[in-house]
Amino acid sequence: MDETIVFSCPECKSKAVVRLSETEAAKIKEEISTKGRSPTLIVKCEKDHELLVTLYNSPSGLGIRDVVVPVRSDSKKKGSEVDWLKQAFGG
């Protein structure tokens, strides 16, 4: 059975959904359990805001640990993914 996690966008309060296949969910749960790493996924809300969503293992399955709205970089400057992540997480 697929795993679906619904939450509100912190930017606009519209609905956002993380949809994972049973296989994907099992791999993520295993990675969290064995390696202690909580994956961060990129999800879009209904109003098309990009969100960085970090998952964790909860007693009822996967849950949302954290949701971050990435900071928009200066559109005139070409940046890399690392720059985007640094801005989003304040690095």
Contact 62, 40 (CB under 8 A): no
Nearest CA to 41 out of 50, 49, 52, 33 is that of 52
What is the pTM assigned to this prediction?
0.73
Nearest CA to 24 out of 58, 61, 74 is that of 61
Q: Which residues of the chain have pLDDT under 70?
A: 72-91
User: Which structural domain, as residue segments, surrounds residue 51?
Assistant: 3-89
**How high is the pLDDT of residue 82?**
61
**How high is the pLDDT of residue 77?**
55
Number of domains the chain contains: 1
List, as own/partner pairs, every contact residues 55-61 make where C-beta atoms lie below 8 angstroms and the sequence separation is at least 24, other chains included: 55/5, 55/18, 55/28, 56/32, 57/29, 57/32, 57/33, 61/3, 61/25, 61/29
